[in-house]
Structures are given as structure tokens and as C-alpha cells.
Structure 1
């Protein structure tokens, strides 16, 4: 379920310290009910994810088109990413976060972990269009349990990046996120420890 931006901005997440020049695009409640110590499982599930296993054929097609365009037009070339066009956010981390764990490596998605805490994890990606952050957190659900929350923060690369983000907004909200949320819920249930 999409949440108001205040669901992210009102919490004292450490990501606020290092992304003041990023815009918050999306905030979602994840269908991942759990207890106070289930956040590591959510992080593992995301790090092992892939856009090619989305249950929606249309969403898979959109991702395939995007990755193909990125390859053909050079949007995702190594020189357009982290450490090249933009420095990694790890360079901005306060000492306590820099000394802590960055988080897991991604199996297939083009993200790099920035930092990991008991209840929040940030991962970043950059290409010719933007520098983006996926922020996962573990929040009380108001019913005695917890659930995941995902925020997407973006720093578009110039006018082209702003136009790109505006152009994909309806696709994100109407085609990509709804099946993604269902898939996250199914994966969460499937990865639950057997009792």
C-alpha cells in the first residue's frame, strides 16, 4: 500500500542525514508482517531479488525494455554509475555508519549497499538518468507487530533525468509497484521459518 511521504520523513532514519539533496518519490508499506527481529530476512529477500521474476508480464516487459534501452543508449555504462559520474553515498556517511556493516551484495539488481542497521538499510544505484536510493525500514504496524517499509529517493541527473522520472511515474505506480507488492508478500510468506 502506498503511504504518505510523512510515513518516511517523520521517522528519525539516518538516511535523512546523507540525502538532503535527494527527493523522496515513493513510500510503500510492504506486505511483510513479522516480529521485531525479522528485518534481516527482509534485507536478504531484497538483495536476492530480480526484475525478471516479477509476476506481471507487462512489468517484466517494461523492465526488459528499460535494460535494453540502457544498454543501447549507454545509460547504464560503467562510466555513468557510482564512483564515476557520482560518488557513492558511503563517502557521506558519518563515522559510526561507515564503521558498521554496509549490507549484503545484490545477486542481480544493479544496487550497492550503503549501510545496514537493526531497523534500516539503504542501497544505491546510479546511471545517466539519476542517482537513486532504496531505503528499507522495519516499523511497528500499529497492531503489536512489525512490517517493512520502502522509500525511494532520487537525485535526477539534470533536465533529462527529471523528464525521465516524470515519464516513468505512471508506469511505476500503475504497472510496476502493484505486482511488486504482491510478489514481495508471496516471497515473504514463502521465506517464513517453518515451525
Structure 2
């Protein structure tokens, strides 16, 4: 479910001090039935295994395939256009206690790079010719005693070209990217025991 941007800014996340020059593009949430305050790492691991092992919906695969092919054709995703090339990584801004957390994070095969991970929030990033983007994930208690995952997309478009690009893809994000992504994440939480067993066959717990 898409939620107001204030739902992100109202939380005392560490990410705020690191991204004052980024804008909040979108904020989404999903409930995690049965979750407790210590289940944020479980959720993150389930999401990563889900990404590595499950296929996205056909429309999403097609759209992303077009994006990556177009990027390859036009050179949008070359290393010199990305982190450490066109832009500095957010990791360069981290205080030492946050920087240390990145060393123990379980990797994933998606395009994002880990920045940091705490008990209730984590940040990942990517950069190319169009934008420098941060995916922030936070673990939030709800009024009924449950927990939900909140995902905020923070972006810094690359000049006019980046702003036009972000405006052009906005309808696709809202219709074909975020809704199926959130549904996939909901299924990942529901199936977390089976997913995590795929990563570590000796551990079938949730």
C-alpha cells in the first residue's frame, strides 16, 4: 500500500542525516502478520531469497527487460556512470558505526548495493546515468501491536535528463513495478520458513 511521505520523515531513521540532498519519491508499506520486534533481519533475508528464486510477473519482467536493454544500448549503466564514477556512494558518508554493519549483510543478486543494516532499518543504493537512488527499508510497530515493513525510494535525479526520466516512468512504477513487488514481498514473509530453508537447509525456522 502506498502511504504518505510523512510516514517516512516522521520516523527517527538514521537515513535522514545522510540523505538531505535526496528527495522522497515514494513510500510503501506492507503488513507482516505474526511478526515481532526482532524479525526485521528475517524479513530482509526472506526478501532477498525471494528475489533470487522467484520469477517476477510477466509484465514486470518485460518492462525491466526493456529498461536494461535500453540502458545497455545507450550506456546508462556503465560503471563510470554509477557509484564511484558519476556519483560517490552513500557509504562514503557513513559514520564508522554504520559502516561496520555493511560487512555482515547477506548479499543479493539484485542491482542494489548494501549501505548499512541496523535492527530496524537498512539502506541500499544504485546509481546510473539517470539517477542516484536509495532504497530504505524500515521496521515499524503498528497501533494494534503488529509490525509492518516500510519502503521509501529516495532519489537524486541526474539533472534535467534525470528529472524527465523519473517523470516518464512514474506511471509504470505505480502500475507495474511497486504493486507486484509489494505482493511478492508479502508472499515472501508468509513463506519465510520455506525460503530461508532454501538458503540454509539446516535451518527451517522462521
Report the Cα distance in structure 2 between the residues aligned to 1:29 and 1:93, rounded to whole angstroms. Answer: 26
Q: TM-score with structure 1 length normalisation?
A: 0.92
Question: Compared with structure 1, are the counterparts of its residues 175 and 182 closer, same or farther at alpha carbon in structure 2 (3 Å cutoff)?
Answer: same
Contact 2:133 2:155 in 1 (8 A): yes
For structure 1, list consecutive stretches of 5 or more residues without a partner in the other structure. Answer: none
For residues 93-172 of structure 1, what are the structure 2 equivalents within 5 Å? 93-101=94-102, 104=105, 106-172=107-173
Report the Cα distance in structure 1 between the residues aligned to 2:138 and 2:109, rounded to whole angstroms. Answer: 21
How far apart are residue 59 of structure 1 and its match? 1.3
RMSD over aligned CA atoms reads 1.9
Out of 10-19 and 138-147, give the one that drifted further.
138-147
Report the Cα distance in structure 1 between the residues aligned to 2:153 and 2:166, rounded to whole angstroms. Answer: 12
Out of 176-185 and 13-22, give the one that drifted further.
176-185
Report the Cα distance in structure 2 between the residues aligned to 1:125 and 1:136, rounded to whole angstroms. Answer: 15
How far apart are residue 194 of structure 1 and its match? 5.3
Deviating beyond 4 angstroms after TM superposition, the runs of 4 or more aligned structure 1 residues are: none
Corresponding residue of 1:46: 47
Tell me the alpha carbon deviations over residues 86-130 of structure 1, each in whole angstroms, 9 at most, x when there is no partner.
111111112321233456354321111111110000000000000
Corresponding residue of 2:21: 21
Higher-helix-fraction structure: 2
**Aligned pairs, number:** 194
Report the Cα distance in structure 1 between the residues aligned to 2:132 and 2:104, rounded to whole angstroms. Answer: 19
Report the Cα distance in structure 2 between the residues aligned to 1:2 and 1:129, rounded to whole angstroms. Answer: 24
Report the Cα distance in structure 2 between the residues aligned to 1:103 and 1:160, rounded to whole angstroms. Answer: 36
Q: TM-score with structure 2 length normalisation?
A: 0.87
Tell me the alpha carbon deviations over residues 55-90 of structure 1, each in whole angstroms, 9 at most, x when there is no partner.
x21111101100111111111111111111111111
Report the Cα distance in structure 1 between the residues aligned to 2:53 and 2:134, rounded to whole angstroms. Answer: 16
Report the Cα distance in structure 2 between the residues aligned to 1:171 and 1:51, rounded to whole angstroms. Answer: 24
